[in-house]
Amino acid sequence: MIEKLIKYQEIDEKLRVIEQEISHSDERLKYGQSVKFLENAPEKLDKLDSRAGELYKIVGQLTDKYKELDENVNEYNGIIEISKDIEVINFYKKNASKLYEQIKELKSSINTVVEEISIINENFEKMKNQTILMQRQYKEYKQKYSELKSQKESDIKKIETALQKASKGITPELLEKYKQKRKDKIFPILYEVNGKRCSQCGMELSLSELSNLDRDKIIECENCRRLIYTKE
């Protein structure tokens, strides 16, 4: 059983080498990069567009308020020019002064919002240009990635056929446990025990693990979850 699983892992390692070659290839990385970008792009563009709409609305409201205050100031200045009553003049001057301060604050607020709109518009254009580039990259590298996988397909099928043959004589339970660890990106999966320690993580085996190992010959390391064995 152990020798069969060792042989199975040796064949499986060849498959893993091809999988790693495909996974780390420039074709796959750039294809994945473009897919991820294009998946998120619509939401990001919508957020920028929505925020710009909100800001334009705020600018409109602030501008309307600015016009209203400016009209009030002009009205007060007109009263001041024709009035001869000192108390009336002082009253309207005081109110006009307050309005000037409000106008000053409004100008500052409008400028701040306009600056943010400018930044958003700039980011929106950048995002649109990036999207166009990523659409081109997606098209180019989707094809290249597909071609790369096609090139490796024959070798993969040969190895998978060899694995199918090599699996005969390995209990379904043990094989399933091996395959699950493979899915969890654990590799190599099977190690020979080094004395009383796991050869992979170096953790000393407990008395319970040693007892199970003596009985079953293959167990799972409680620390690193690899399969460890001792030769009969």
The architecture (CATH level 2) of 24-170 comes to: Orthogonal Bundle (1.10)
Does 129 have pLDDT greater than 90?
yes
What dihedral do alpha carbons 176, 188, 149, 135 form, nearest 10°?
A: 100
The pLDDT, as a whole number, for residue 35 is 96
Q: Which candidate, 118, 145, 111, 110, places its Cα nearest to that of 21?
A: 145
The string of pLDDT tens digits covering residues 144-161 is 999 999 999 999 999 999
Distance from the first to the final alpha carbon of the chain: 10
At residue 218, the 3 state secondary structure works out as strand
The pLDDT, as a whole number, for residue 90 is 84
This prediction's pTM? 0.69
| 190 φ, ψ (degrees, to nearest 5) | -105, 130
Residue with tokens 């993969």: 156
**Is residue 213 very low, low, confident or very high in pLDDT (cuts 50, 70, 90)?**
confident
Does 92 have pLDDT greater than 80?
no
The pLDDT, as a whole number, for residue 231 is 77
Strand runs labelled E in the chain:
190-192, 218-220, 227-229
**Is residue 217 very low, low, confident or very high in pLDDT (cuts 50, 70, 90)?**
confident
Domain extents in the chain = 24-170, 171-232
